[in-house]
Structure 1
């Protein structure tokens, strides 16, 4: 549980030392751990039911590493990884990191311009992609990268690119391979993780080997049962699921297929998944599915949700179907990792208590540290500071305050027991005349209305651009005939005058969201603005 220092007005999570040595390199640690349990299953492919043992995972990692070295790649080279969760993604990631390459995972659903945005910064020497997105990736490479990087396709290649099979061929001396020590892990970049990009183009977050080894993960149970989420390695939750599997030697279920309620039910029941992560939008869709009431969730120990606000009603609805575990909110960022703990208890409505090796403070607009119960910006510090935003010194400077606390841009508070509550994004606050309105307050009310499956509230400029009008974008539950008038009537009956839904309510088939299911509020805002202007 987080502890509050009344003198410094800082909150501290546990500082228990990890069992792994953060001074070593990530590839060294992973290969050492895999060698201890060669016959244990470390990966399960839900697409075809195939399993991979630790010995086979290790063999593929070593072959990727040695074959890349044979091709002339070396420490400091950048790698673009534009892949769904197929069977060879983890061997490629670890194989690259083991020889000092820096991996930049990108969303496999990115279009040409989104890929080019990051590739211009990384100037990658080697690119990995799927068969399905090779054409888009090739266009982005030509558009953004100087020179001609090698492109490898996960699967058979029918184009000018090479197949990943070439890197999985037996390599000379593979049985005696031991990754060399690459130097100071605290300052050696392992990966460039994209920031969420929910308020603009993503930035490249440079994370060290030590950062990835000592951060809190989804669970700390060794040799436990399967872990699953839909997140590719582009998302921090995908990376953290991979590390939970590798560092605690437990099977991770993977699939290249996108989320569907049926797919999620099937994976949980078939593989007896113990730890899950989903965005709340997936859970919202799932609890209205006919099978939700009868699905077997008895294997689930922890079901965490994050990436967007999780209502207490949604959490309780999910928790009611988990007989042997719990459902809770998580809070984190690309720059820190988990800010709150996935394994500690959670007070209703909160996102939990601080993760291991994380400290925090709440500061008001004047920069003064706040007491428990007082609201302000959430600022956090992790034991291993990120190494900066790639090629963006100004953004790196602006991300931290004078005490090296990362400014999350989120508003919230700690209660007296050390639980953190996130209220809203600073940039999302709706400014109506002299009032400030939290979108989540209105979303909580609308979300309880019968017939609402999902909602996002944003501020749309008034006709004279002098203030914002609270406006709702709503996805109805299947079969619902809910109207705008009904929504406005419910909201207006429960809020103060300045919080009324003056911008109205609009219904859509689905909210714009990222590949991981996070609602893109800036897109919602722009869409609502366009609709208003067209009237």
Structure 2
């Protein structure tokens, strides 16, 4: 039975409250201790299948590999206060590296492989990892970026001759009577460090607490489930999949290639995947590929998506290919380290990200910081009553997102309806102003998404000295469509009589949208590409 979130409303303080947390494991155990115990319980089950490297690991084999890597760390004198760097794809032994960190209580700091040398250097100069695990493809870049640090580099695949290979680490004998370490600071201790999306400068190093909250909404998983997420360990969804597959003893399907929609559809069908989590961009790409209509997705019983908005048309297309109604819009942010809300009521609450998950509180505030009631628009704030170490080495930014009362200020504009369902309208900083009238890019994106020929769209403001932010759009058309930019402009004009919601800046057709390293649509990059195209025309 899937978890059904509910929330109550404190009208005096204008706060929404999620259900109480149910503990399925001893609350004093760390994530590493839970996974260690659960792997010993089911040694013969298949833990992992690589769809690209064609490897299969039982839980016993993965458990042994994880202990070997952990024993290697201990032999190298790596402490709980140290950091392990990760910048690689989902290769066969990446899970062993993550679990080894969990077993030892040493946080890893994972970066996206798309980061350039300067960004890697700046970020790792903050956390100063003792050892870095990366693909051989990134070895030269990582070595150059960290040359000023005393760091060992281990490669996971495509090994250069002068790197330490993962097989050498896996040759380490398992420490006698190996046991997972007790956390020096209990479950307040940092489990992992990810990066913020980085659309406005160098990404920040976001600490994720060793908390049980990340398991919320997934306690329905069993040993019969087969999980698939293409996201790597630098995504919160990649971390979520890594943890849940270990805790609930599922089979996890991995792949180390660049996301390809046709490949993803084949993986789901071939391995009879039951649990999927994706960003909306992946959903749109799958819907827009030739294989979509003939692929068998009937094995899926839980299909989560989040990270940004998905057009209703994309959601409906995905739902039409599922055997049961299991498409779930989830909302959260990296700093929270978990999901904040989940919508299991698509038809009744179209566009909502759902009700609060257990253990959380929410409020909506105005610009003066005052709490607002139902159906009033303001900034979404979340409280999880847990310790957070903040952005590693950046207390000023940490205080900006989490106030002294421990409310996270999400930067998202939204509202709660009278049934306790949360709606996210837009990023607060992405509001645009045309002739002194405020509007949201999503207002126009929703109109464009109605067009049956449109697969994806990104709207942004192009500055005019006379009018202010003129809306413009980059549009991905569906496969085989003859859609032209003027068709999009004309459709918006027909659908709204608001001058400020017209595509006054124009539109372009693109093969794909520009995205940040974590896969989210990057308005700034799409705007820059739009201006570049317009300058050439």
Per the TM alignment, residue 395 of structure 1 is displaced from its structure 2 partner at its CA by 0.3
Q: Tell me which of 372, 389, 406 is aligned to 1:387.
A: 389
Distance 1:462 1:96, change over 3 A: same
| CA distance in 2: counterparts of 1:283 and 1:370, whole angstroms | 34
C-alpha deviations, 1:260-319, integer Å up to 9, x for none? Answer: 122111111111101111221222222232322221111101111112111222211111
CA contact (8 A) 1:22 1:214 kept: no
Distance 1:10 1:222, change over 3 A: same
CA contact (8 A) 1:217 1:240 kept: no
| CA distance in 1: counterparts of 2:534 and 2:289, whole angstroms | 33
Quote the residue 2:364 is aligned against. 362
Quote the residue 1:468 is aligned against. 469
What aligned pairs does 1:467-506 form with structure 2 within 5 A after superposition? 467-495=468-496, 496-506=498-508
| TM-score relative to the length of structure 1 | 0.94
Distance 1:214 1:505, change over 3 A: closer
Q: 5+ unaligned residues in a row in structure 2: which ranges?
A: 1-5
Distance 1:418 1:83, change over 3 A: same
Q: Tell me which of 142, 153, 156 is aligned to 1:154.
A: 156
Per the TM alignment, residue 33 of structure 1 is displaced from its structure 2 partner at its CA by 1.3
| CA distance in 1: counterparts of 2:309 and 2:383, whole angstroms | 22
| CA distance in 1: counterparts of 2:217 and 2:71, whole angstroms | 29
C-alpha deviations, 1:361-401, integer Å up to 9, x for none? Answer: 01122222111111111000113242111111110111123
| CA distance in 1: counterparts of 2:454 and 2:144, whole angstroms | 41
CA contact (8 A) 2:326 2:344 kept: no
- Stretch deviating more after TM superposition (524-533 or 306-315): 524-533
- Stretch deviating more after TM superposition (218-227 or 37-46): 218-227
2:294 aligned with 1:294, yes or no? yes
C-alpha deviations, 1:327-371, integer Å up to 9, x for none? Answer: 121111101133344584442211121112111001122222111
Quote the residue 1:418 is aligned against. 420
| CA distance in 1: counterparts of 2:361 and 2:213, whole angstroms | 18
Quote the residue 1:401 is aligned against. 403
| CA distance in 1: counterparts of 2:129 and 2:490, whole angstroms | 54
Distance 1:173 1:284, change over 3 A: closer
CA contact (8 A) 2:431 2:441 kept: yes
CA contact (8 A) 2:352 2:422 kept: yes
CA contact (8 A) 2:230 2:259 kept: yes
Output the aligned Cα RMSD. Answer: 2.0
Per the TM alignment, residue 180 of structure 1 is displaced from its structure 2 partner at its CA by 2.7
CA contact (8 A) 1:20 1:213 kept: no
| CA distance in 1: counterparts of 2:157 and 2:480, whole angstroms | 42
CA contact (8 A) 1:205 1:386 kept: no
Distance 1:172 1:316, change over 3 A: closer
What aligned pairs does 1:8-47 form with structure 2 within 5 A after superposition? 8-47=13-52
| CA distance in 2: counterparts of 1:88 and 1:167, whole angstroms | 11
Quote the residue 2:354 is aligned against. 352
What aligned pairs does 1:248-327 form with structure 2 within 5 A after superposition? 248-327=248-327
Quote the residue 1:85 is aligned against. 90
Per the TM alignment, residue 100 of structure 1 is displaced from its structure 2 partner at its CA by 2.9
Quote the residue 2:3 is aligned against. none
CA contact (8 A) 1:460 1:528 kept: no
2:63 aligned with 1:65, yes or no? no
Per the TM alignment, residue 403 of structure 1 is displaced from its structure 2 partner at its CA by 2.5
Q: How many residues of Structure 1 are paired with residues of Structure 2 in the alignment?
A: 529
CA contact (8 A) 2:69 2:172 kept: no
Q: 5+ unaligned residues in a row in structure 1: which ranges?
A: none
CA contact (8 A) 2:103 2:180 kept: yes
CA contact (8 A) 2:197 2:518 kept: no
